[in-house]
């Protein structure tokens, strides 16, 4: 590992240029990489790479390994670094006072002339307003995130006074202050939803675009993509700068992804703001005072979208209409995955997959880390890895898919086709003098593809068959912040250039991974046009959800990080990314049986579920396969992974809902229950889809936990069927093998038989689990082939199930196909009555007995039958031919 001075000096020699404006050589011998941790008196002892020689793969790996060992060793007591090197605060004494002169109505809003600046306030739809301030004569900003900058043409009513210009649509009123530019957004009732703070206003300070907003003391903030700490971000100082932060602290300010979108929630409703700026940006969310917040960027244009609610679901639906939505994933990607940096040779992957099969723990994918490559050269296969075609054949015979890691750094090497082609075609990021920038990653000295260019993305996409032809089914993107072992702050210098020298790293950094994801997705689609592409990435920007799932990077095997996964995933979901997950068990360090068991329980309800752990290169390293930590942990893994697989029909339906309106799969309670003030700061419970609430145990040694049950519903214990009224906190016993799970009363939950992988058996029977609420229940089911893009052309089915009860104790169940487009293999459905069964009317209101259930005679002759009654657990299971839409179940009293 180099010292910070050595790294900076090395990079200066490589680039031949001075430090970029705004980046000072502020790191000294006593301070290690600012993007990670402070490591006093350690870094200076490490070897310095010779800047005049190319690094070999071994040297590069040694540098990074030593850095990682030090970071992990100092993780517990190191001082926290607050920024990645270019966090430049606003000077509030030098803010602008932009006065509006001429106003000109446009077809979608108004143009405001403000001296050398132009303001544009435009309606994207009746509830979405785009606010822009730019230098006069500047061309329109082209966003990578926005797919629909004009959602719907709207009718605008206008009025003007000496001090204000007002525009009103059916959704929102925009009042613009003219004497000092500022906007106020009002709802249909004339209440202020969101307003600029006129003490500070909006504009540019030394080239930095900024916006100050008023806030109420009770206002909460959610989203911001991938963030540490708790769910509600009020009071936080947040930075957006994608940072390779190995073993990041549970309160780290910068990690891997930047999504500059958040939702504000007041007592009167919700709104969203998307600050579409790719530069390093900051968000002071009432962190300085209780009555205002603000956001700004180190460069670029002042360009943001205001999105009206009043429900949080409305905000997210409109945001994802603007930036795009996640597509229905292949069903196998919703199963369980196993990974480890250190599965070498390839036969080890086969051994682990066989271990899952032998132990009857479901598994759908094995991940290959950098071990499979030839000297960590991308798009290559190592000579000692083994016969990948044979490995893939054996995995496929077990129903296991293969996912391969892929990094952007390309080894600089004569004779390596990718290096030579990229150099010949001029495809690399460059120094200001036009020479190719050279950094270092796993293979040693490396070039970085300029993914901001369409021709480079097409070239990269064309390499994917080198992986897919060997049976690779999905791609895992790593190191695409972009990470650089020898660059300042572990990334490229800010003055490195892209787009043939027209853009700098300052603008491209936060979207480098976005473009890398686009190239990878397009490569998979080209290689397998009709298959659903599965990509997951460590780096994201707004709009990345159109192409990939998100993985939260190199977390740590400790209780703080287990606890962190919950608000991190929930806020990612509230930022338009429904498919998100974490390294189950923790990547860095050794886990414990208790921690791993609790993480498996929680992780079985993460949208993306993968066990992954680091390579410490020590013979006594703790393994993290489910059977490595004892039989009790193995049994817990089998129980909860099997539960995940039984719930796949329900989970598939939740993802389908996300493709329709952007709703999260792993939902913060506040998303559904925003009017219940008690849920605003709950970070350790979540909704799984619309009807299941999960309350993981995230405290070491705990054998019970408090669970809050939101107002407005009764809640039924998944395990016991016990019913509780909402609006209260209960204490639930939770020994090591129990994670509290509750179902919203009035729900129908779809399940199926447990499979060892998603393609093992045809989907011939679905169980509709009925949890009555006030004598009623309802639910939906989505069904398609789970593999192809045919669903986009309507090749899917949806079903709606409705349950009602009568005073005589009979129960009517109606199942209706609400969309028909797929040749289903379903033959039967089961009605599984769980929790409270109906109550007989009349004197005494006798409870019914499951053993006294009977089917009405007409249904009985059509093949409807009771297949199971369980008096102990108070359940009844009725099997129904798929074409039978209405069934009546009668009961006798005890």
- Residues annotated as catalytic (active site), given as ranges: 478, 481, 554
Tokens for 448, please give them. Answer: 């970085």
- Which pair of tokens denotes residue 805? 């009860």
The total of other beta-carbon atoms located within 10 Å of residue 104's CB is: 9
- CB-count exposure of residue 189 (10 Å: 0-12, 13-18, 19+): exposed
DSSP codes, 82-130 = --SS------GGG---PPP--EEEETTEEEEEETTEEEEEEEEETTEEE
Burial class (CB in 10 A: 0-12, 13-18, 19+), 198: middle
d(CA 6, CA 66): 15
In degrees rounded to 5, what are phi and psi of residue 280? -55, 120
d(CA 268, CA 767): 40
**Contact present, 90 and 201 (Cβ < 8 Å):** no
Rounded CA-CA distance 475/406 in Å is 7
CA 805 to chain centroid, in Å, comes to 40
**Which three-class secondary structure state does DSSP give residue 183?**
strand
Find out whether 375 and 441 touch, Cβ atoms under 8 Å.
Answer: no
Determine contact, residues 514/499, Cβ cutoff 8 Å.
no
- Return d(Cα 235, Cα 18) in angstroms, integer: 37
Task: Note the residue count of the chain.
Answer: 894
> Shortest CA distance to 671 belongs to which of 733, 578, 604?
578
CA 74 to chain centre: 28
Residue 610 Cα distances to 337, 339, 491, 623, 749, angstroms: 4, 7, 27, 14, 24
As given in the structure block, the two tokens for residue 122 are: 């435009």
β strands within 399-471, DSSP E: 401-406, 410-411, 439-441, 444-447
Alpha-carbon span 615 to 622, nearest angstrom:
10
User: What's the rounded Cα separation, in Å, for the pair 687 and 668?
Assistant: 6
Q: Tell me the C-alpha distance between 515 and 511, whole Å.
A: 6
The two tokens of residue 655 are: 């993802």
Residues 411, 446 contacting (CB under 8 angstroms)? yes
CA distance 666 to 570: 6
Distance from chain centroid for Cα 551: 7
Beta carbons of 200 and 292 less than 8 angstroms apart? yes
Q: Which position has the token pair 């809003």?
A: 109
- SS3 for 552? coil
* Alpha helix ranges (H) inside 267-346: 312-323
């Amino acid at each position: 590992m180099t010292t910070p001075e050595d790294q900076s000096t090395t990079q200066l020699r490589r680039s031949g240029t001075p430090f970029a404006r705004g980046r000072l050589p502020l790191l000294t011998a006593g301070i290690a990489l600012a993007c990670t941790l402070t490591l006093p008196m350690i870094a200076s002892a490490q070897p310095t790479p010779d800047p005049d020689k190319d690094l070999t793969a071994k040297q590069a790996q040694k540098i990074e390994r030593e850095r990682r060992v030090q970071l992990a060793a100092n993780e517990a007591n190191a001082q926290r670094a607050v920024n990645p090197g270019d966090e430049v605060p606003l000077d509030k004494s030098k803010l602008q006072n932009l006065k509006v002169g001429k106003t000109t109505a446009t077809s979608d809003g108004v143009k405001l002339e403000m001296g050398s600046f132009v303001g544009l306030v435009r309606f994207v739809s009746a509830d979405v307003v785009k606010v822009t301030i730019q230098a006069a004569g500047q061309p329109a900003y082209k966003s990578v995130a926005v797919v629909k900058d004009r959602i719907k043409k709207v009718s605008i009513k206008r009025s003007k006074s000496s001090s204000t210009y007002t525009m009103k649509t059916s959704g929102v009123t925009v009042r613009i202050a003219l004497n000092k530019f500022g906007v106020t957004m009002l709802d249909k009732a004339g209440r202020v939803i969101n307003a600029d703070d006129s003490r500070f206003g909006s504009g540019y300070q030394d080239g930095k675009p900024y916006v100050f907003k008023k806030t109420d003391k009770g206002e909460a903030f959610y989203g911001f993509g991938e963030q540490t700490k708790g769910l509600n971000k009020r009071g936080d100082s947040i930075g957006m700068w994608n940072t390779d932060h190995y073993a990041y602290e549970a309160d780290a300010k910068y990690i891997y992804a930047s999504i500059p979108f958040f939702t504000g929630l007041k007592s009167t409703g919700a709104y969203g703001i998307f600050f579409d700026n790719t530069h390093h940006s900051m968000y002071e969310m009432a962190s300085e005072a209780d009555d205002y917040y603000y956001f700004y960027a180190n460069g670029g244009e002042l360009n943001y979208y205001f999105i009206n609610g009043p429900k949080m679901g409305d905000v997210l639906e409109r945001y994802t209409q603007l930036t795009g939505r996640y597509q229905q994933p292949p069903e196998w990607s919703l199963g369980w995955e196993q990974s480890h940096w250190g599965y070498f040779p390839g036969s080890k992957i086969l051994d682990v997959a066989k271990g899952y099969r032998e132990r009857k723990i479901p598994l759908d994918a094995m991940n290959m880390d950098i071990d499979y490559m030839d000297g960590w050269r991308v798009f290559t296969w190592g000579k000692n890895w083994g016969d990948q075609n044979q490995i893939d054949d054996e995995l496929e015979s077990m129903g296991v898919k293969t996912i391969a890691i892929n990094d952007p750094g390309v080894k600089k090497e004569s004779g390596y086709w990718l290096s030579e082609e990229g150099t010949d075609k001029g495809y690399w990021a460059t120094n200001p003098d036009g020479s190719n920038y050279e950094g270092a990653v796993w293979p040693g000295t490396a070039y970085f593809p300029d993914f901001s260019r369409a021709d480079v993305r097409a070239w990269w996409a064309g390499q994917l068959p080198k992986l897919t032809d060997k049976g690779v089914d999905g791609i895992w993107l790593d190191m695409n912040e972009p990470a650089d072992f020898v660059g300042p702050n572990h990334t490229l210098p800010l003055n490195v250039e892209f787009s043939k020298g027209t853009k700098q790293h300052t603008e491209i950094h936060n979207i480098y991974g976005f473009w890398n994801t686009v190239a990878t997705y397009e490569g998979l689609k080209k290689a397998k046009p009709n298959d659903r592409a599965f990509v997951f990435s460590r780096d994201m920007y707004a709009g990345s959800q159109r192409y990939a799932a998100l993985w939260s990077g190199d977390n740590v095997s400790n209780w703080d990080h287990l606890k962190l996964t919950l608000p991190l995933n929930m806020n990612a979901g509230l930022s338009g990314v429904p498919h998100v997950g974490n390294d189950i068990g923790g990547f860095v360090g050794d886990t414990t049986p208790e921690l791993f068991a609790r993480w498996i329980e929680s992780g079985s309800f993460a949208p993306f579920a993968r066990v992954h752990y680091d390579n410490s290169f020590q013979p006594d390293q703790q393994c993290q396969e489910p059977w490595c930590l004892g039989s009790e942990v193995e049994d817990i893994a089998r129980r909860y992974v099997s539960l995940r697989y039984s719930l796949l029909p329900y989970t598939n339906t939740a993802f389908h809902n996300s493709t329709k309106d952007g709703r999260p799969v792993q939902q913060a309670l506040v998303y559904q229950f925003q009017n219940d003030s008690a849920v605003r700061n709950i970070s350790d419970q979540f909704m799984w889809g619309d009807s299941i609430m999960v309350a993981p145990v995230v405290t070491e040694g705990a054998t019970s936990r408090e669970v809050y049950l939101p107002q407005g519903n009764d809640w039924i214990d998944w395990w016991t069927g016990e019913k509780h009224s909402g609006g209260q906190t209960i204490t639930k016993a939770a020994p090591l093998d129990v994670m509290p799970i509750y179902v919203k009363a009035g729900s129908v939950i779809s399940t199926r038989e447990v499979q060892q992988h998603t393609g093992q058996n045809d989907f011939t029977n679905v169980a509709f689990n009925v949890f009555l609420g006030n004598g009623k229940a309802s639910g939906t089911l989505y069904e398609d082939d789970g593999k192809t893009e045919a669903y986009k052309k309507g090749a899917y089915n949806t079903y709606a199930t409705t349950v009602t009860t009568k005073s005589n104790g009979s129960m009517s169940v109606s199942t209706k196909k609400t969309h028909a487009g797929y040749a289903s293999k379903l033959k039967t459905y089961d009605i599984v009555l769980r929790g409270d069964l109906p109550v007989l009317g009349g004197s005494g209101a006798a409870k019914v007995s499951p053993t006294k259930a009977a089917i009405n005679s007409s249904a009985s002759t059509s093949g409807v039958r009771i297949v199971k009654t369980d008096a102990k657990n108070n359940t009844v299971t009725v099997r129904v031919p798929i074409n039978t839409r209405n069934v009546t179940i009668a009961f006798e009293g005890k």
